[in-house]
């Protein structure tokens, strides 16, 4: 964000010969502000505040208000409270362990309370008798009631009680710059700065998004009448950010589409109708919708570049098969690439079953083929005429030639590099591309993350699937858990036991898994056929173990997290997960997806003694099988970057907006961005001048995306 004055205004002033009056402007350096010397200016710069206008854009990260303050007399032991009181005594005390504790006693009209900050004796310098403190934290019993502040704000000395009844902004601060000082600075200049702020958004946009104008919003976030008002102001600032990002992403998408020449398939409804008639089930609404979106893309002369997203078991394969048939009834060839041989084989088998009534057999191409089979497969692909090739990255090898590759489908797309995906695409002439992913990301988020892709989401499970019973069991129940697993094994079922393996502690983890494997083989599973599967095994050995498990030649698979995504063993009904607290929720969800694939009731047991926090997290996981809900919770807990490498996607960091909290706002922003770009793709209309300015000043990419001429 920049507050530099528009050059026209400058120009106008120069012409009229008026020298700018030495008054406050948005671009006045902070050093000119009263109360800011060189030292403070340095601290402010660390927060990104260099000119007066930056103060306005330094947004409180939270608020305290009287409605959240507990009268001291009611601050009960065991509760987490916010209190407001005047410091009547203070000092630094040593403890027996040598830790120095800053203590203060605060008082309000109802009583007194002791506050303690262990290890922070330096607070003695900044907190004085007579200061009013607003503190939040747990109340404990320690020779009497005592609050250990998690956060606090020093309001300074003031008239009795004035802090109460008011909403207080709490700003992100930095060392050497207290929240109080920042608040004072904003407060002091707010009235002078607000009238200088110009609205970048048109009335129409403001009205449709139902957000306040910028100057109002800034007043609301800095000096709100109520928490609700603060939220409304914040929403406006978040919306502005989201709209900018959506404009960039949607414009990038628009340009990419225009540039992508491709093929226009004709929806002949020959093979696809035959499949529909032969299907042993009815498609879900989500599948029908996704197929319609894909058909639409394939009919258009532009090149399809679509991501099909659906939770484990949502039924992506059949959607992919419909798109394949559409290409094939146009005489084209199709290639489906999967990340492992096992998955490729599995696809070949299930696609083969689906297409048997149509007399179509897919051609499998993996590294496991013998020389003769391989030659036969290669010559099939090189012949003209429709063919459905399914394989691993063996499909992109140099020796592979397609007569006319019209559609490329990539399963578990995140397992491939950009390079490999492009290589497969290059085997044909601008083939349509369908990417598939089982990572459930809410649609609006996916659209924001993958700007240049179109996205279809399967957000509905096929009916009749048995829910997996998920339970959390403590160490005390360990023997019982394995006893239960044995009863399932007695019924002819199969069992997974999963151990976490984290890169940073790989050696120790692998050792632990191996030790446990040996204990299981010697103990509860001594009568069973058990194998240990981990990532350090050679790939063919790993595949061999998975194959034996799939074919029922193994009863129990003890595995680190390498259990193949998407592998389908319908007879496996029990998954025991050790150290569940060490997994992310989405990872647990992927693992749990390995059971519950067949008709029988399945179970997922999270085994171990976990802390209260983890228990809550895992309890949430146990209560739902909705991958999108789980992904949301995971995102909230771990943050975007961690989960999706948001940086890799070129997603700008948001200052105010939060893609999860502001999902609805983001949807509105995307809708409006599409609408705006439809009518004025380069943002040259008079209504969009402010927006254009906002984008070009704030985002380097905008210069390219909205270049005129």
Mask 50-89, x = binds ligand ADP (CB under 6 A)? ----------------------------------------
Can residue 357 be called a binding residue for ligand ADP (CB under 6 A)?
A: no
From 362-370, 460-468, 563-571, 636-644, span contacting Mg ion (CB under 5 A): 563-571
Assess 313 for contact with Mg ion (CB under 5 A): no
594 binds, among ligand ADP, Mg ion, none (CB under 5 to 8 A by kind): none
Shortest Cβ distance from residue 577 to Mg ion (Å)? 21
Least Å from the CB of residue 312 to Mg ion: 8
Contact code string over 292-311 relative to ligand ADP, x by CB under 6 A: ------------------x-
**If binding is defined by CB under 6 A, does position 313 make contact with ligand ADP?**
yes
Angle at 243 between CA 701 and CA 447, to 5 degrees: 80
Q: Exactly one of 139, 155, 318, 390 binds ligand ADP (CB under 6 A); which one?
A: 318
Could you tell me which residues are beta bridge partners of residue 469? 603
Distance between CA 362 and CA 287 in Å, rounded? 22
List the end-to-end C-alpha distance of the chain, in Å, as a whole number. Answer: 26
Which lies closer to ligand ADP via its Cβ, residue 312 or residue 335?
312
User: Which range, of 90-98, 279-287, 529-537, 641-649, touches ligand ADP by CB under 6 A?
Assistant: 279-287
Cβ 460 to ligand ADP, closest distance in Å? 9
Q: Is 654 left (phi over 0), alpha (psi -120 to 50) or beta?
A: beta
Contacts of residue 402, Cβ cutoff 8 Å, sequence gap at least 6: 333, 335, 381, 382, 389, 427, 428
262 touches Mg ion by CB under 5 A: no
- Options 25, 271, 314, 363; binder of ligand ADP; rule CB under 6 A: 314
Cβ-based nearer residue to Mg ion, 303 or 594: 594
Q: Considering beta carbons, is residue 122 or 281 the nearer one to ligand ADP?
A: 281
Comparing CB distances to Mg ion, the nearer of 60 and 566 is 566
**Full DSSP string of 431-466:** -EEEEEE-----HHHHHHHSTTSEEEEE-SPPTTPP
Site string for ligand ADP, 436-455 (x = CB under 6 A): --x-----------------
- Choosing from 60, 149, 566, 608, the residue that interacts with Mg ion (CB under 5 A) is 566
283 binds, among ligand ADP, Mg ion, none (CB under 5 to 8 A by kind): ligand ADP
CA-to-CA distance for 451 and 224, rounded, in angstroms? 36
E strands within 459-529? 468-473, 494-498
Please report whether residue 326 would count as binding ligand ADP according to CB under 6 A: no
Contacting residue, 164, 462, 681, 698, with ligand ADP by CB under 6 A: 462
Residue (of 23, 63, 58) closest to 182 by Cα position: 58
**CB closer to Mg ion, 339 vs 566:** 566
Check: CB of residue 418 under 8 Å from CB of residue 443.
no
Beta bridge partners of 92: 102
Cα(303)–Cα(92) distance, rounded to whole angstroms?
A: 70
Place of tokens 């409304």: 232
User: Is the distance from CB of 153 to CB of 133 less than 8 angstroms?
Assistant: yes
The count of chain residues that interact with ligand ADP, using the rule CB under 6 A, is 15
Minimal distance in Å, beta carbon 566 to Mg ion?
4
Buried b (16+ CB within 10 A) or exposed e, 266-288: eeeeebbebbeeeeeeebbebbe
Taking CB under 6 A as the criterion, the residue among 32, 122, 142, 281 binding ligand ADP is 281
**With binding defined as CB under 6 A, does residue 177 bind ligand ADP?**
no
579-609 in b/e form (b: 16+ CB < 10 A) is bbbbbbbbebbbbbbbbbbbebebbbbbbbe
CA distances from residue 435 to 117, 308, 382, 452 in whole angstroms, order as listed: 54, 6, 24, 13
The partner in contact with residue 318, picked from ligand ADP, Mg ion, none with C-beta cut-offs of 5 to 8 angstroms by kind, is ligand ADP
Question: Are the C-beta atoms of 177 and 171 separated by less than 8 Å?
Answer: no
Q: Are 512 and 582 in contact (CB under 8 A)?
A: no
SS3 490: helix
User: Residue 312 binds which one of Mg ion, ligand ADP, none, with CB within 5 to 8 A depending on kind?
Assistant: ligand ADP
Nearest distance from residue 316's CB to Mg ion, in Å?
5
Residue 627 within binding range of ligand ADP, rule CB under 6 A = no
Three-state DSSP at 105 gives strand
Q: Which helix (H) or strand (E) holds 392?
A: none
Smaller CB separation from Mg ion, 524 or 566:
566
Min separation Cβ 652 and ligand ADP, Å:
32
Contact between 339 and Mg ion (CB under 5 A)?
no
Q: Is 449 left (phi over 0), alpha (psi -120 to 50) or beta?
A: alpha
Q: Which range in 10-18, 251-259, 562-570, 597-605 contacts Mg ion by CB under 5 A? A: 562-570
3-state secondary structure of 656: coil
Output 386 or 593, the one with its CB closest to ligand ADP: 593
When binding is defined by CB under 6 A, the residue of 45, 283, 403, 600 that contacts ligand ADP is: 283
Of 31-39, 92-100, 542-550, 561-569, which part binds Mg ion (CB under 5 A)?
561-569
229: three-class secondary structure by DSSP:
helix
C-alpha–C-alpha distance, residues 77 and 87, integer Å:
21
Q: Which does 315 bind (CB under 5 to 8 A by kind): Mg ion, ligand ADP, none?
A: ligand ADP
CA-CA distance, 708 to 375, in Å (whole number)?
Answer: 53
* 290 contact choice in Mg ion, ligand ADP, none (CB below 5 to 8 Å, kind-dependent): none
CB of 544 to ligand ADP, least distance (A): 23
Q: Which of 231, 242, 230 is nearest to 205 (CA)?
A: 242
Helix (H) / strand (E) element for 15: namely helix 7-16
Please report how the helices 612-623 and 627-638 are oriented relative to each other, as an axis angle in degrees rounded to 10. Answer: 160
Residue of 200, 224, 262, 315 that binds ligand ADP (CB under 6 A)? 315
Q: Per rule CB under 6 A, is residue 312 in the interface with ligand ADP? A: yes
- 360 interacts with, out of Mg ion, ligand ADP, none, CB within 5 to 8 A per kind: none
Minimal CB distance residue for Mg ion: 566
Q: What is the binding site for ligand ADP (CB under 6 A)?
A: 281-284, 287, 310, 312-318, 438, 462
Q: What is the binding site for Mg ion (CB under 5 A)?
A: 566
């Amino acid at each position: 964000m920049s507050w530099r004055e528009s050059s026209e205004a400058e120009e106008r002033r120069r012409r009229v010969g008026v020298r700018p009056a030495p008054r406050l402007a948005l671009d006045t350096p902070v050093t000119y502000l009263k109360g800011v010397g060189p030292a403070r200016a340095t601290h402010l710069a660390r927060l990104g505040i260099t000119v007066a206008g930056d103060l306005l854009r330094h947004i409180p990260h939270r608020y305290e208000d009287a409605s959240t303050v507990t009268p001291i007399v009611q601050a009960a032991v065991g509760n987490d409270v916010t209190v407001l009181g005047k410091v009547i005594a203070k000092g630094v005390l040593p403890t027996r362990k040598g830790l120095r504790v800053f203590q203060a006693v605060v008082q309000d009209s109802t009583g007194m309370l002791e506050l303690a900050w262990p290890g922070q004796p330096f607070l003695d310098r900044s907190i004085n008798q007579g200061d009013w403190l607003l503190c939040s934290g747990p109340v404990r019993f320690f020779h009497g009631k005592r609050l250990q502040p998690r956060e606090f704000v020093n309001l300074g000395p003031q008239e009795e009680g004035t802090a109460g009844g008011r909403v207080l902004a709490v700003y992100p601060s930095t060392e050497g710059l207290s929240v109080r000082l920042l608040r004072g600075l904003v407060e002091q200049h707010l009235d002078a700065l607000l009238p200088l702020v110009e609205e970048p958004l048109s009335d129409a946009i403001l009205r449709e998004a139902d957000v306040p104008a910028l100057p109002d919003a800034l007043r609301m976030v800095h000096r709100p009448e109520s928490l609700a008002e603060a939220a409304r102001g914040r929403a406006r600032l978040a919306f502005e950010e989201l709209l900018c990002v959506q404009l960039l992403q949607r414009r990038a998408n628009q340009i990419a589409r225009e540039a992508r020449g491709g093929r226009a398939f004709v929806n002949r409804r020959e093979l696809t109708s035959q499949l529909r008639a032969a299907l042993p089930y009815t498609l879900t609404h989500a599948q029908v919708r996704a197929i319609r979106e894909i058909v639409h893309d394939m009919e258009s002369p532009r090149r399809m570049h679509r991501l099909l997203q659906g939770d484990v078991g949502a039924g992506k394969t059949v959607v992919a098969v419909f798109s394949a048939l559409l290409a094939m009834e146009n005489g084209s060839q199709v290639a489906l690439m999967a990340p492992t041989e096992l998955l490729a084989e599995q696809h070949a088998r299930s696609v083969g079953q689906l297409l048997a009534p149509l007399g179509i057999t897919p051609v499998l191409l993996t590294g496991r083929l013998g020389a003769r089979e391989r030659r036969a497969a290669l010559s099939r692909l090189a012949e003209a005429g429709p063919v459905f090739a399914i394989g691993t990255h063996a499909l992109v090898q140099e020796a592979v030639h397609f007569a006319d590759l019209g559609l490329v489908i990539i399963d578990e797309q995140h397992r491939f590099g950009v390079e490999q995906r492009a290589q497969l695409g290059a085997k044909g002439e601008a083939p349509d591309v369908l990417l598939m992913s089982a990572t459930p990301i809410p649609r609006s988020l996916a659209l924001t993350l993958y700007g240049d892709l179109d996205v279809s989401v399967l957000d509905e499970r096929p009916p009749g699937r048995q829910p997996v019973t998920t339970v959390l069991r403590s160490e005390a129940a360990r023997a019982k858990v394995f006893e239960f697993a044995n009863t399932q094994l007695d019924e002819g079922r199969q069992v997974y036991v999963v151990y976490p393996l984290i890169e940073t502690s790989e050696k120790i983890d692998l050792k632990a898994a191996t030790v446990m494997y040996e204990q299981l083989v010697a103990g509860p599973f001594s009568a069973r056929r058990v194998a240990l599967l981990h990532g350090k095994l050679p790939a063919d050995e790993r595949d061999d173990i998975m194959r034996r498990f799939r074919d029922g030649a193994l009863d129990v698979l003890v595995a680190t997290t390498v259990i193949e995504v998407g592998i389908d063993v319908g007879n496996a009904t029990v998954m025991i997960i050790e150290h569940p607290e060490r997994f992310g929720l989405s990872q647990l969800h992927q693992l749990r997806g390995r059971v519950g694939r067949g008709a029988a009731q399945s179970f997922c047991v999270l085994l171990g003694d976990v802390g209260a926090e983890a228990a809550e997290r895992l309890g949430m996981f146990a209560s739902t099988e909705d991958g999108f809900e789980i992904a949301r919770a995971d995102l909230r807990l771990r943050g975007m970057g961690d989960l999706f490498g948001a940086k890799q996607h070129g997603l700008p960091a948001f200052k105010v907006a939060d893609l999860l909290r502001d999902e609805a706002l983001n949807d509105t922003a995307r809708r409006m961005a599409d609408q705006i770009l439809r009518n004025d793709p380069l943002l040259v209309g008079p209504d969009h001048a402010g927006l254009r300015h906002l984008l070009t000043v704030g985002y380097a990419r905008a210069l390219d995306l909205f270049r005129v001429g």
